[in-house]
Structure 1
Amino acid sequence: MLDVLPFDSVVIPRCSSVRSRMDKVEVLTRMLKSDNTSTILGGQSPGSVINSRKYVPVTAGARGDDQRSLDDAIRAALCGETRAAVVVGSEGSGKTTALRKLVADWAKGECLQNFSYVFNFQFREFGSSADELSLETLIHQGHHQTPPDFTRLVTEKPDGVLFVFDGLDEYKHSLDPSVHSLTSDLTRPASGSSLLASLLHGSLLKGAAFLVATRPTDNVRFLRGARVEVLGFRKPQREAYFNNFFTDSVAANRAFLHMERTLGFYEFCASPRFCWTVCSVYKWLLDSDAKLPETLSQLFADTLVHLIQTLSLNKACSRGLVLALGRVASHCLRGQHPSCPKHAVDAFGLQQFPTSVDSFLREHGEEELSFRSHLMREFVLAVAFFLDASAYEDAEKTLNDHKAGAKMLDLFMSGLSEPAQYRSLEDLLGTFSSGQIKAFKSWFRGRSEKALKDYNRSEHYRCFHLLHQAQNESLVKEILTPPAHPSIFHENLSLQDCAALNFVITCLGEREKLSVSRTTISRETMEILAPSVSLSHTVILSHCCIHKEALPLLASAVSTGVARDLDLSHSSIGDEKLQILCAGLRESKLHSLNLSVCGLTAACCGDLVSVLTSETSQLRNLQMMFNEIGDRGFTKLCEAMHSPNCRLQELQVRDCDLTAASMEAFAGGLGSGETQLRKVDFEGNVIGDSGVQALCKALQQPLCKLRSLRLFDSGLTGACCSDLKEVVMSEHCTLSELELSLNELGQEGALLLCQGLKRPSCPIETLGLTRCGLTPAVFEELASVLKNGTCRIKSLHLAINKVGDQGVKPLWDAVAHPSCLLEELNVEMTKLTDACVEDLCAALRANNTLRFLELRNNSLTDAAVPAIVQVMKEKHNMEELNLKYNNFSEDVFEMLEECHNIRY
C-alpha cells in the first residue's frame, strides 16, 4: 500500500547513516524491479523503462515550441514556492513511470536531495481500511525501517519530507476540506480519507512537499500547487521511442512512418502505453511478414488476434471469451463505470477463463477489475455486436445505450463492418453476423444522409470519421453524392478531422473548393491535407495559424496540383513565412493569391515580385488588403509591372498605408506598355489630390489599359476633379469603373467630373459617388448625363448625399428616359419621403433596364407601400428593391411580402 523511501540528513550515529544508505539501495531495487507486464495492453513496466536507460521524456508545460521534459517540469515545480505539483495526463501518458523514475533518481542521489524522506502512496489503496489510525502508524504498518525517532525528525523538519501520490482518479472520496475533520496531530488516529485530506491541505505535517499524479478528475480543483500537463510523446519522442524499441533501424523507420501516416492524428498516439502496444503489434506483424494495419480498427483487430493466439484457445473458447469481455465492456460503458466488481464478473461468463482474462483486465483496487485499455474495452464490445445478433439490438439502440461512456464505439463498428478488417477475426472467432453488418450499414447510410442535409460541423465530421475508418471508397461516393455536399467548409479542425476530411476528398477526386478556417496548420496537418489541396481548384485557409514548417508542403501541393486560387487571408503569415511560401510558388499555376490581413510589411514585396515575374507565372489577382507595406513596399511591388512575365490583372491594396509618394512609381508601371493590369483598388489609402494627379497622367497614355480605378476614401477633394475630367475626356481612356465614394468632392468638383462624363465615347459604366457632398445641382447634371443618348453608365451609387425629394427628382426623370441604361441605382440615405413615390413609380413603369434599386435608410412610410407594391408586381425585370430601415410598421409587412423581389 505504501512505499517509504527514507534518507536522514540529520546528524545521527554511524549505524543509522549506514542503515539510511541501505534503505536507499532497497528503495532503488524496488523502483527498478522489472515487474514485466504479461500483456501488450499494459504497456512497458516502469521498472523496465528505467532499467533500459532508453527512457524518452514525455513533454509537459506550454504547447508549441516551449516544451520541457516531464522530469524537468516536476522538479521545477517541487523546487518552487509552493513545493507542490499536480501532474495531469490521460491514460498511459507516462505519469506513473515519471513518478517512479523521480523516486529512483532521488534514491541514486541524482535529484531532490533536499528531501530526507520520500513516501510513495497509491490512491486506490489509501484509506481502504475502515480502521482509524495515525499517519505514524500508517507509515509503520507499511514499512519497518524508519528510525525510532522518526516522528520527532519529521516534526522538526517537515520541509525535508516529500509525499508522492499516484492515481488520484481512482480515489473514491472527495478532497474537499469542508467535508473532512482535518487533523494536525501525527499520533492521533483518523480515517484514511481524513488523513489524506489533512496532508494535502497542509493541516497535517505543514511544510511538507507533495506530488500528485492523476487522470483528469474533479478532485484536482481542491489541490494546491503547480499544474503540470502531461502531453505524452509528441512526434520527436515517438520517433525516438520507435528507434529504441526496434533493434533494426530499417524496421524502426518503416514502423514509425506507417504509424504516423495511419494513426498519428489520434490524440492517444501521444500515450507511451499506446506506443508500446503499437510497437509490440507491429513487431509481431513484421516478424510474420504480415501487412501493417491501415486503420485503428485493423490495429485492434491485429492486437486481439495476437492476444488470443498467445492464450492457445480453440475457436469456441476464443469466441466465448470475447463475448464475455463484451458483456463486461457493456456493463462498464452503460453505467460509465471504470471498473466491474469481481463478484459480478462470473455473471458475464468469465469464470470459464480464469487465467485468460489477465491479458485484458487488471485489478482495480482490492475488489474490482477494469480493462487495461479503454480503447480495447470499446473494441471488444464492437466485435461482440457483430458476433452475437441475439445479445445486441440494432446499431442505433446499441450506440445510444452506450453513448454516455463510449467515444470510439461507432468508429470501431464502422471499421468492423468491412470484410478487409474483420476477416482475420472471423478466422479466429467464427463468422460475423451478416444481418448485423447489413443493419449497421443501413443505419450508417441513413444517419449520414440526415447529417449532411444539416450544416452541423460535428455531425459532418463524425460521418467523415466513420467513412475513414471503413476505408471503402465506393461507400464514400455513394453517401457523398455531389448534391449532398458540393463543397466542404469547416473550422477548428483537429488532426483527426483533417485525416477524415482528406480521405473523403481523395475518394471523391478533383473538386471545386477546399475551405478550412480557424485551424492550426502544422507540418503534420499539411502532410495530411496535401492530397486534398492538390485536388482542389480553390484552396481557402483563412483565419488559420500556419506554422513555418507547413509552408513548403503547402506550396508544393499547390504547385503540383490543380489549384488556381489560394486564400490565406487573416492568417498572420508575416514576412518571414511569406518568403518561404513564395520560394515554393514560383513554379505554381496560381491565378489568384489572397494575402489580406497577413501582417505583412515592405520587406515581403521583393519576394512577391519574384513570384509575379517568374517565367511560369500565371498570377492574375493579388489581394494585399490591410497590410502595412507602405510606399516603400508598394514601390518595390510596382517593379513587377515592367516585366513581360508579369500577368497581373487585378491588384487590391486597400488600407496599406500608401500615400502620394508611391503613385509616381505606379503610374510609371501603368504607362510602361508591359503591364496587363486592369483593375486596382486603393481604398483607404490617403493618396490625396497630388497622388491622383500622377495617376491621371498615366491614365491618358495610349499604352495604359486600366479599366477599374477604386479611390474609395482616399483623401480626395474637388481639386482632383479637373484631372479626372481630363482622363474621362481622353480618347485613350479605358476606364469602365471609377469609384470615388467617401471623398469630399463637393458641388464644384462633381460638376467638373460631369462635364467629362458627357463625352460621347466616355467608357465609364460604373460610377461611385457615395457621400461626396453632392448637391441637387449635381444630381440634375448627372440626370442630364444619363439621358444624353451616349452615356454608358449602368451602375450609379449616390448614397448618403442628403438632397431630399426635389434633389433626387431629376434622377427619376432620367430613369424614365428611353436613353437611360441604368441597371443599378443606389440612393440610400438621401432623405426621400412619401412625396417621391409618384415619380419613383412612374420611372419604374417606364424603365426596362433597372434591376437593382437601393432605397434603404430613407423616410418612406406605410402610405408609400401600396403604390410601390403595385408597380413591383408589374416589373418582372426588377430583381431587387431594398426598402430596409424605412419608417414602416408591421401593418404593411404582409403587403410587402407579396413581392418576392422586395427586401424590407
Structure 2
Amino acid sequence: MDKDSVLTRILRPKDVSTLVGGELPLSVIHNKRYISPLTGRDEEDSSPSLDHAIHTSLCGETRTVILVGAEGSGKTTALEKLVLDWAKGGHLQNFSYVFHFRLRELSSLNGTLSLVTLMLHHHGHIPPESVPLLLQKPESVLFVFDDLDQCDLDPSLHTFCSDPSQATSVSCLVASLLHGSLLKGAAFLVAARPTGGLKALSGTRLEVLGFLKPQRWAYFNGFFADPVAANKALMHMERTVGFYDVCTTPRFCWTVCSIYKCLMDAGAKLPETLSQLYVDVLVHLIQTLSLAEACSRELVLALGKMASQCSLDQHSSCTKEEMNSCGLQRFLTSVAVFLHVDGEQSDRPVFSFHSRLMQEFLLASSFFLDKSASEGAEKMLDKHKGRAEFLDFFLSGLSEPGQRRPLEALLGEFSSDRIVDFKCWFKSSSETTLKGCYKDKHHRCFRLLHQAQNESLVREIITPSARIGISYGDLSLQDCAALNYVATCLGEMEQLNLYSTRDLTEDEAEMLAPAMSLSHKIILSDSSLSTGSVPHLASALSRGLTKDMDLSQTRLGDEKFKLLCAGLRDCKLQKLDLVVCRLTEASCEDLVSVLTSGTSQLCVIDMRCNQIGDQGLTKLCEALQSPHCKLQELLLQGSELTAASMEALSSAFCSGQSDLRKLNLTQNAIGNKGVETLCKSLRHPHCKLRSLIFFDCQLTGGCCPHLMRALMSEHCSLSELELSVNDLGQEGALLLCQALSQPGCPLEKLGLKRCELTQSVFEELGSLLRSGTSQLKSLTVGMNNVGDQGVKHLWDAVAHPSCLLEELDVEMTGLTDACVQDLCAAIRASKTLKSLEMRNNSLTDVSVPALVQVMQDSHNMLEMNLKYNDFSEEAFDMLCECDKIRY
C-alpha cells in the first residue's frame, strides 16, 4: 500500500479552523500543539494516555478498539495523528493497510456501495490489483472509523452482507464489518460520542477523558507565547463558574484560548460565567461577518430555529432544505463560522453546529430576541428537557442586563416580556425546589443563580423557608463554585452539610473554603478528605464563623489532623467531633498545642473510637491543667484506656485549672482501680466534674464503696453517673442507694442498666425516690430481670408526691400485663414523669386500651416506648390513636 498517498490524503486541507469548532487536527499536529487526551477504563483508577492505550490494545490480540468520548474530547485529532504516524512508518506497523473514514462525510452519500467501492473510490490510494491480496489477508487490515454514532449498528435492523462486492447502505456496510460478517479478521479502531447504540458492539472500550489539569497546562502554554498570559488564562478558566463541566475537552480549551487572547489583547475583562463567555464568542463571530444590525438579528433568530429543530428531532445535522425552512437561505455564505458542512461536493450536503454549547446558546439568545412568539420559558424548557443540557444556564445568564448588553449592542434589545416571564418562572421553580429534599435539584438551582450573577436575586430566592440544610456531599467542582457563590451572597449559613463526600479534593476544598468560613456548622461526617483539602479547611476555620464541626468517621489520621490543627489554634470553633478518625497518641500532642494556645475556643471534643491509649490521654491531661484550656466536655468511648491513665486525669481535676464538666469513658477497661483513683478527685474542692460515664468499663461491686464516699462528699458536684453494663450486683448497688439517700447528694441522673440488680435493690430505689431527699430526675434500670414485683416498688415511688423522677427506663425487666394497673395509677398520680421506656417486655393486647387511655389523659407524659412487646396488628391500630406512644 502506498503510504505516501495516505499522507497526501490526510494532509490535504479539508476545512478551516473555527472559533467554536476547534483547531483542525492537522494544524494541531503541525504546530506541535498535539497533546494526547487521557483515557480511563472502568476497572482501572489510573488515566493513561489515549495514544498509548490504543497502541497497546491494537498490537496485541484485540481486534476492535472503541473510543467513547464527548464532543470535542480529542477523538478525531487522536485518530488522524495515529494514521499519520502509521503512514510515516511509526506506530502500528503490524498492519499493511489502514483505511480512515469519517462516517459523517460518508453518511451524506446517496444510494448504496460495496466494500470494494468504498476502498477504491472513497479512499483513493489503493491500486485495484491489491484488492484480492487485501481480501485474502484481512488480519493485515485496520479500519479507522470516526463519528461512529452516525451509524445505527443494531443487528436487528440490518441484513448483514459477507460479499465484499455486494452493494448496501453505509450503516449496513459498517455494521457488517464490525460484527464480523464482512472481512472477518480485520481490526477496527472506532470513535463515537456516548450513545445507546454502542452496546451491541463488542471490543476494548476506552473512555476518552480529554484534558485533565496537566494536559490543560501544557495546552495553554503551547497556545500563548507569554507564560504569564497562559497562566492567567488557565487559572481564570479553571476558577470561573460554569466551565468545569466542559473545560476537559480540547475543543473547549481552543475556544477559551482563542477568545481570551482577543480579549486580553484588547485589554477587555475576561468573562465570569459560561453565558458571558459565549456572549463574547457570538459578538466576535458576528463582528467578523460585518452585517447590519437587522441582518445580524435575523441570522441569530434563524440559527436559533435550526438549533431548536436539531434539539427536538435529536438530529445533529440538517439538510439544505431544512436550513432554508429555518430562514437561513440568505446566509449560506455566512454560516461557516457557526456550521460544519459534510458532503459539500454532493447534491445533498448536510449542516451541523460546530459546537453543542454554541447551538444551545443560540437557542437561548433567539428565545429572548424573538418578540413575536408567545411560547413562555417554562413551556420552552419542558419541550427541550433532556435534550439541551445548558439551555437554562444560558437563559439565566442572558436574563441579566450586564451579561446580555454586548449582544444587544449588535442585535438590538431583547424582549422585555420574555425576560420577565423567564424571571417569574425561575423564581417560582427555585422556591419550590429549595423547599424540597432533592439535592440534585438544589445544585441546579445554585448553578442557575451563579450564572445570573445577581446577589439580590439570591437573597430574594433563598429565604429562611428554603431548606439549605440537606446534604450536599459529593459535589462536582462546578457545584462547589455555585454553592460557594450562594453562601457568599447570603453572607453566612447556619449549616453546611457535606455529609458522605466520598473524596473532597484540594480543588473542591479551595473552592468551598469561603462557604465554609461563612457557616456556623460544618458537617463532613462519613467523608473522605484528600491531604490537599485539609489546609483549605483549616484556613476556612481560622478566619471563619464556624463554631461546630463534625468530622466523625472521616478516617482522618494523624498526618491530616496535624494539618487541621493549624486552623484550630485561632478560630471560633467550640465543638469538634472526631469519632472514628484513626487518631493515635500523636494527634493528642497536636491537640494539646491547640488547647493551650490561649486562642482556642474549643469546649467540647468527641474523640470516641480512636486508639489514643493511656499515653494519649496523659498528654491531654497536660492541656486540662493549663489556664488557657477551655475544654468542658471530653468523650473518649472505646479509646483503649486503662486505669493507668486515671492518675493523670485525677491530678488534672484537682489542679484547680480544669473546667471539664463531662467525661465519657464508655467501653474502656477502667476497672475498679481506675474508679478508685478518679473518686479521690471527685472529693476534691477544685473538681468541677458534673457528668461521669462508666458505661461498660469492666467494673464490679468493688468500685461502689469508693463511689459511695465520693457521692457523700461535701465537695462532690456530680449530677450524672452512668454505670450501666457493669456487674455491680446487689451489694454494690445498695451502697450507691445509701449515698443517694443522704441529704445534699447532687446526683440527678443515674444509669444502672444491666448491672445484675435484684428486687431488694429496686425496693431500696423505691424507698429512696419516696424519701424526699433524693434529687434523682432520671433513672435507668432496664435489663435487670426483676419482674412485676420488683418494678412495683418504682411504680409506688412514681406515685408518691416526693418523687421528682421525670425519666424512667425499665426496658426488658420482665414486665407483664399484671403491672399495668399500678403503672397507670403511678402516671395519674405523678406530677413530674415525662418519659417511660418499656421496650422488650411481655405486655399484650389486653393492656393496650388502658395504656392508650392513660397517655391521652396525662398532661405530664410526653412519651411512652412500647416497642417489641407482644402486640398483634389489631393492637397497633389502637396504639396509633395516641401520638405519644412509640410502638
Could you say whether these structures have the same fold, taking a TM-score greater than 0.5 normalized by the shorter chain as the test? yes
Instruction: Select between 546-555 and 355-364 the one with higher mean Cα deviation.
Output: 355-364
What CA distance in whole angstroms lies between the structure 2 residues aligned with 1:747 and 1:362? Answer: 90
Partner of residue 498, structure 1: 480
Instruction: Select between 314-323 and 208-217 the one with higher mean Cα deviation.
Output: 208-217
How much has 1:735 moved relative to structure 2?
1.9
Partner of residue 33, structure 2: 54
How much has 1:866 moved relative to structure 2?
3.9
Per-residue CA distance 1:375-397 (angstroms, 9 max, x = gap)? 12111111111111422411111
How much has 1:347 moved relative to structure 2?
0.9
What CA distance in whole angstroms lies between the structure 2 residues aligned with 1:154 and 1:629? Answer: 72
What CA distance in whole angstroms lies between the structure 1 residues aligned with 2:664 and 2:156? Answer: 65
Amino acid at match of 2:79: L
Q: Secondary structure at the match of 2:18?
A: coil
How much has 1:96 moved relative to structure 2?
0.9
Q: Secondary structure at the match of 2:442?
A: helix
What CA distance in whole angstroms lies between the structure 2 residues aligned with 1:181 and 1:512? Answer: 64
How much has 1:472 moved relative to structure 2?
1.2
Partner of residue 190, structure 2: 212
Checking the alignment, whether the CA contact within 8 Å between 1:712 and 1:741 is kept in structure 2 is yes
Checking the alignment, whether the CA contact within 8 Å between 2:540 and 2:567 is kept in structure 1 is no
How much has 1:851 moved relative to structure 2?
1.7
Any residues of structure 2 matched to 1:701-740 within 5 Å, and which?
Answer: 701-740=684-723
Q: Secondary structure at the match of 1:115?
A: coil
Per-residue CA distance 1:268-323 (angstroms, 9 max, x = gap)? 11111111111212222222222222211111111111111111111111111111
Q: Cα gap change, 1:67/1:176 in structure 2, threshold over 3 Å: closer, same or farther?
A: same
Amino acid at match of 2:188: F
Q: Cα gap change, 1:294/1:648 in structure 2, threshold over 3 Å: closer, same or farther?
A: same
What CA distance in whole angstroms lies between the structure 2 residues aligned with 1:722 and 1:80? Answer: 79
How much has 1:545 moved relative to structure 2?
2.4
Q: Secondary structure at the match of 2:188?
A: strand
Q: Cα gap change, 1:37/1:146 in structure 2, threshold over 3 Å: closer, same or farther?
A: closer
How much has 1:28 moved relative to structure 2?
4.0
Q: Cα gap change, 1:220/1:850 in structure 2, threshold over 3 Å: closer, same or farther?
A: same
Any residues of structure 2 matched to 1:535-614 within 5 Å, and which?
Answer: 535-614=518-597
Q: Secondary structure at the match of 1:706?
A: coil
User: Are positions 1:517 and 2:495 aligned together?
Assistant: no
Any residues of structure 2 matched to 1:352-751 within 5 Å, and which?
Answer: 352-363=330-341, 367-485=349-467, 487=469, 489-519=471-501, 520-751=503-734
Checking the alignment, whether the CA contact within 8 Å between 1:812 and 1:840 is kept in structure 2 is yes
What CA distance in whole angstroms lies between the structure 2 residues aligned with 1:751 and 1:178? Answer: 86
Checking the alignment, whether the CA contact within 8 Å between 1:510 and 1:535 is kept in structure 2 is yes
Q: Cα gap change, 1:635/1:876 in structure 2, threshold over 3 Å: closer, same or farther?
A: same
What CA distance in whole angstroms lies between the structure 2 residues aligned with 1:665 and 1:34? Answer: 82
Equivalent of residue 321 in structure 1, options 299, 302, 318: 299
Amino acid at match of 1:51: H
Amino acid at match of 2:499: S
Equivalent of residue 104 in structure 1, options 84, 109, 132: 84
How much has 1:536 moved relative to structure 2?
1.0
Checking the alignment, whether the CA contact within 8 Å between 1:180 and 1:197 is kept in structure 2 is no
What CA distance in whole angstroms lies between the structure 2 residues aligned with 1:163 and 1:892? Answer: 73
Equivalent of residue 257 in structure 1, options 216, 221, 235: 235
Q: Cα gap change, 1:403/1:848 in structure 2, threshold over 3 Å: closer, same or farther?
A: same
What CA distance in whole angstroms lies between the structure 2 residues aligned with 1:616 and 1:447? Answer: 45
Partner of residue 181, structure 1: 160
User: Are positions 1:229 and 2:207 aligned together?
Assistant: yes
Partner of residue 765, structure 1: 748
What CA distance in whole angstroms lies between the structure 2 residues aligned with 1:279 and 1:145? Answer: 37
Checking the alignment, whether the CA contact within 8 Å between 1:315 and 1:430 is kept in structure 2 is yes
Any residues of structure 2 matched to 1:196-207 within 5 Å, and which?
Answer: 196-207=174-185
User: Are positions 1:274 and 2:252 aligned together?
Assistant: yes
Checking the alignment, whether the CA contact within 8 Å between 2:547 and 2:573 is kept in structure 1 is yes
Equivalent of residue 49 in structure 2, options 69, 79, 104: 69
Checking the alignment, whether the CA contact within 8 Å between 2:59 and 2:94 is kept in structure 1 is no
What CA distance in whole angstroms lies between the structure 2 residues aligned with 1:127 and 1:331? Answer: 20
The two structures, once aligned, show a CA RMSD in angstroms of 2.7
Provide structure 2 residue ranges, at least 5 long, that are not aligned to the other structure.
Answer: none
How much has 1:437 moved relative to structure 2?
1.1
Q: Cα gap change, 1:429/1:489 in structure 2, threshold over 3 Å: closer, same or farther?
A: same
Q: Cα gap change, 1:340/1:186 in structure 2, threshold over 3 Å: closer, same or farther?
A: closer
Per-residue CA distance 1:135-171 (angstroms, 9 max, x = gap)? 4443222345436763565467654433222111122
Q: Cα gap change, 1:264/1:332 in structure 2, threshold over 3 Å: closer, same or farther?
A: closer
Task: Provide the TM-score with structure 2 as the length reference.
Answer: 0.93
Amino acid at match of 2:886: R
Checking the alignment, whether the CA contact within 8 Å between 2:399 and 2:419 is kept in structure 1 is yes
Q: Cα gap change, 1:889/1:180 in structure 2, threshold over 3 Å: closer, same or farther?
A: same
Q: Cα gap change, 1:690/1:204 in structure 2, threshold over 3 Å: closer, same or farther?
A: farther
What CA distance in whole angstroms lies between the structure 1 residues aligned with 2:424 and 2:605? Answer: 48
What CA distance in whole angstroms lies between the structure 2 residues aligned with 1:253 and 1:264? Answer: 19
User: Are positions 1:872 and 2:852 aligned together?
Assistant: no
What CA distance in whole angstroms lies between the structure 2 residues aligned with 1:633 and 1:150? Answer: 80
Checking the alignment, whether the CA contact within 8 Å between 1:133 and 1:190 is kept in structure 2 is yes
Per-residue CA distance 1:55-87 (angstroms, 9 max, x = gap)? 233222269983322222222222344254221
How much has 1:436 moved relative to structure 2?
1.0
What CA distance in whole angstroms lies between the structure 2 residues aligned with 1:640 and 1:79? Answer: 65
How much has 1:428 moved relative to structure 2?
1.0
How much has 1:741 moved relative to structure 2?
1.7
Partner of residue 44, structure 1: 23
Q: Secondary structure at the match of 1:106?
A: helix
Q: Cα gap change, 1:203/1:674 in structure 2, threshold over 3 Å: closer, same or farther?
A: farther
How much has 1:642 moved relative to structure 2?
3.8
Provide structure 1 residue ranges, at least 5 long, that are not aligned to the other structure.
Answer: 1-5, 7-19
What CA distance in whole angstroms lies between the structure 1 residues aligned with 2:837 and 2:661? Answer: 28
Amino acid at match of 1:607: D
Per-residue CA distance 1:85-105 (angstroms, 9 max, x = gap)? 221111101111111122223
Checking the alignment, whether the CA contact within 8 Å between 2:633 and 2:660 is kept in structure 1 is yes
User: Are positions 1:119 and 2:91 aligned together?
Assistant: no
How much has 1:852 moved relative to structure 2?
1.5
What CA distance in whole angstroms lies between the structure 1 residues aligned with 2:48 and 2:322? Answer: 44
Q: Cα gap change, 1:143/1:33 in structure 2, threshold over 3 Å: closer, same or farther?
A: closer
Instruction: Select between 151-160 and 241-250 the one with higher mean Cα deviation.
Output: 151-160
Instruction: Select between 479-488 and 820-829 the one with higher mean Cα deviation.
Output: 479-488
Checking the alignment, whether the CA contact within 8 Å between 2:778 and 2:806 is kept in structure 1 is yes
Q: Cα gap change, 1:618/1:138 in structure 2, threshold over 3 Å: closer, same or farther?
A: same
Checking the alignment, whether the CA contact within 8 Å between 1:33 and 1:47 is kept in structure 2 is no
Per-residue CA distance 1:321-351 (angstroms, 9 max, x = gap)? 1111111111122232222232211111010
How much has 1:689 moved relative to structure 2?
3.4
Checking the alignment, whether the CA contact within 8 Å between 2:108 and 2:350 is kept in structure 1 is no
Per-residue CA distance 1:722-766 (angstroms, 9 max, x = gap)? 333333233332222111222232323322322232232222211
What CA distance in whole angstroms lies between the structure 2 residues aligned with 1:419 and 1:727? Answer: 74
Say how many residue pairs are matched.
881
Any residues of structure 2 matched to 1:742-891 within 5 Å, and which?
Answer: 742-889=725-872, 891=874
